[in-house]
Amino acid sequence: MDAFTRFTNQTQGRDRLFRATQYTCMLLTYLLEPKAGKEEVVMKLKKLESSVSAGRKWFRLGNVVHAMQATKQSIHATDPVPRLCLTLANLNRVIYFICDTMLWVKSVGLATGISKEAWRRRAARHYYYFLLLSLARDVYEISLQMGRVAHDRAKKEKGSSQGPCGYNVADEETEWLQSFLLLLFRSLKRHPPLLLDTVKNLCDILIPLSQLGIYKSNRGLIGLGGLVSSVTGIITVAYPQMRLRTC
């Protein structure tokens, strides 16, 4: 109970719970909408989804400041590749939150001369850039982890056994994919924060891809991706050691 209280006392924690609720409603709506006799339930789910989405905008109002702080921190990363990816990603995140704030101003009626569709598209574009750069950082970190795992494995096997008899190029070609996937699995298993961050970004990118018309996804797939992403976010907030750190 104390852990739950600490979690819900955090703005990020409440936002993750609201986000999980929002995308759960979206997924359930997609699954129930084709079924007869579920019209009332679907309507209630849509209303709840809309209310939760509007509530989340209040939680995000101060996020532009956090994004600016994250940009300053990423500049000091020792590795140049994460430094470049994270700095550019966080700059796009700052612009995304500015666009999101403009959409909130429009929704509450504080300004009338704002084009909702134009700002929504800007927000989706910069959110897409943020996720692309975050995934580029993830791919780089995965490659480093795979290199370390392969090096450790080579050290263990060195001198302990010789290559199998009858080895040929055909064997290498057929086993390459299996070896790669096994190495990838071992690398992510060794570094759970990297796995969570990669899964989160892959799931989240479905949203701007659909909004920008790059890859149209149905509401069920977006809802499932958003739910999985929200659960990984809940884990990283509840257990800060599971958050991918900037080196």
Question: Model-level pTM?
Answer: 0.87
What local confidence, expressed as pLDDT, does residue 2 receive?
62
Tokens of 90: 């966080």
Regions of the chain where pLDDT drops below 70:
1-9, 159-174, 247
What local confidence, expressed as pLDDT, does residue 4 receive?
64
What local confidence, expressed as pLDDT, does residue 13 receive?
81
What local confidence, expressed as pLDDT, does residue 58 receive?
79
Long-range contacts of 100-109 (CB under 8 A, 24+ apart): 100/57, 100/60, 100/63, 101/60, 101/61, 101/64, 103/57, 104/57, 104/58, 104/60, 104/61, 107/54, 107/57
What local confidence, expressed as pLDDT, does residue 121 receive?
95
Percentage of the chain surpassing pLDDT 90?
58
